[in-house]
Chains A and B, each alone.
Chain A
Amino acid sequence: MTIRYLNPVQEAAVKPASLAPRLPSLEGCRLGLLSNGKENADALLQMVAQEIKSKFSVKNVVSVTKFGAGMNCPPKFMEDLLSRCDAVITAVGD
């Protein structure tokens, strides 16, 4: 007896994305750090920032902590960050 069944699975709608445009140099840039709000993300980002600052003369660093590690960063929050930075690095800590 053949049974017909429907597939119960819904795959995620994958949105095509590409790498952010590269800056010619990090020299003099305004660097943003976006943490997901978990314990070690900030530590990881600070280490990366120190490494960058040791190699380039960074103009300033803007550190932002997203509240709610399981939630998307709200568009207004991202827009504000991007308006004040030339490059943003994000990290997922735990």
Chain B
Amino acid sequence: MTEFNLASEIGEAEDPIALQELFFEKGWTDGLPVVPPTPERVFEFLEASGSQPSDIIATIPTRNRVITAEKVAINCVMAGCLPGYMLVVIAVLQAMAEPYYVFHASITSTGGAAPFIVVNGPMRHDLKMNSGVNVFGPGNRANATIGRAVRLILINVAGAQPSVLDKSTQGHPGKYSFCMAEAEEVSPWEPLHVELGFDADVSTVTVFAAESPHGIQNHESGKPEELLTCIACEMASMGGFSLGQSGLVLSPEHANIIAKSGWSKRQVKEFLFEHATQTAADLKRLGKFGQKGSRIDSLKLISSFKRPNEDLHLKRLAELGGELKPEDETTLVSRGVVPEDILLVVAGGAAGGHSAFIPSWSRGRASLFQTKPIGVCLDCKPQDSDDLQTIGDIRP
């Protein structure tokens, strides 16, 4: 075994039950028992991931937090991971550290988001991940413990302890674990990572700061337009409505009904973007936009702003601000600002007309889904953030 110099304090417990009680008492768990993070087991994880304990996996400047490989390994062990899962967890944290994920606010906001993790590529098979029956449910070790390891890291390393710094109003069950693989083999379309420009044999994680899933049930429609209109209605549901991005996990049955009529993934997104709408008037009447949105009028666009489609986002917000106007009755507002705002993947059991819409946590807080290759870079830095957030209202 390779020897590592670990920085973490080593403690001792008399027996397994005493250790569990100690971890609960310290607030080091998600409310469930953990696997003891012994030095020997942590070594195995570091070795499997090719990491040195002091490797910096991610930073959270807003909180002065540094996430080292050693702490990642410890929490992966606690979550019940196998050593091979650690590279996936590392890639998830690298994705969350990108400026336009907004690491700090996404894990502490009243919005109660969870990192929704989609794994693509060959590693899905290597790790025996589930992309089929009960894809969001229990029963698969990799899906369950990769998501759980991320949560434990958020609690123990990122400082997002529930009710202390994590101030979620309600949170949702995905905050225990919200991780799945795409069913690339049964999808009628190119998988997510290929759509985003990666080679098919590269494994990736896509991470989306997400609210709780909305189930979409449709057993009877055999026509793409009918089915997609039903899905669009759910995406436009008033409670979850925003200009944020959308996760959409289509069941194989739904995806194949749509694709067998020749619809491409691009066409599906365009149709949904066009139909997942509300009128500006209804949005204002029900308190979704209006007076508070009017503050956007005072913001100025700066040309160097790098956040994708920010100009469209702010333009739409500015249009929605202010009092109810007659033309608002006929002004349709789409969910998101472009069709590419829909993160579309296929997963679930072969039988059943059940898909899921997953709303974003907050585009208004600058959060967009991020994709990273797995195992490619252990010390990658996030994109240059020097020009970020250069928007403001500077009045003499």
Interface positions of A (Cβ within 8 A of B): 1-10, 12-15, 39, 42, 60-77, 80-81
A1 touches B15 (CB 8 A): yes
B19 touches A3 (CB 8 A): yes
> How many angstroms from the CA of A62 to the CA of B28 in the assembled complex?
45
Return chain A residues, CB-CB under 8 Å to B134: none
Q: How many residues of B contact A (CB 8 A)?
A: 60
Stretch at the interface among B32-40, B135-143, B278-286, B319-327: B32-40
In the complex, B66 has a CB within 8 A of chain A:
yes
Return chain A residues, CB-CB under 8 Å to B303: none
B8 touches A6 (CB 8 A): yes
Interface residues of A, dominant DSSP: loop
> How many angstroms from the CA of A65 to the CA of B28 in the assembled complex?
37
A71 touches B392 (CB 8 A): no
A70 touches B106 (CB 8 A): yes
Chain B residues 347-368 with CB under 8 Å of chain A are: 365-366
- Please give the distance in Å from A60's CB to the nearest CB on chain B: 6
* A71 and chain B: residue at smallest CB distance: B389
> How many angstroms from the CA of A74 to the CA of B74 in the assembled complex?
33
B396 touches A68 (CB 8 A): no
Return chain A residues, CB-CB under 8 Å to B9: 6-7
> How many angstroms from the CA of A73 to the CA of B385 in the assembled complex?
11
Q: Which 10 A-B pairs have the closest CB atoms?
A: A70-B105, A67-B391, A7-B9, A6-B8, A10-B157, A8-B156, A68-B366, A8-B74, A12-B64, A13-B64
Return chain A residues, CB-CB under 8 Å to B71: 8-10
B8 touches A64 (CB 8 A): no
- Please give the distance in Å from A48's CB to the nearest CB on chain B: 16
B370-394 to A contact mask, C-beta < 8 Å, 1/0: 0000000000000001111111111
Query: Which residue from A6, A63, A76 sits with its C-beta under 8 Å from B390?
Result: A76
- Please give the distance in Å from B8's CB to the nearest CB on chain A: 4
B38 touches A4 (CB 8 A): yes
Known: A2-B13, A7-B11. A68 touches B106 (CB 8 A): no
> How many angstroms from the CA of A4 to the CA of B102 in the assembled complex?
36
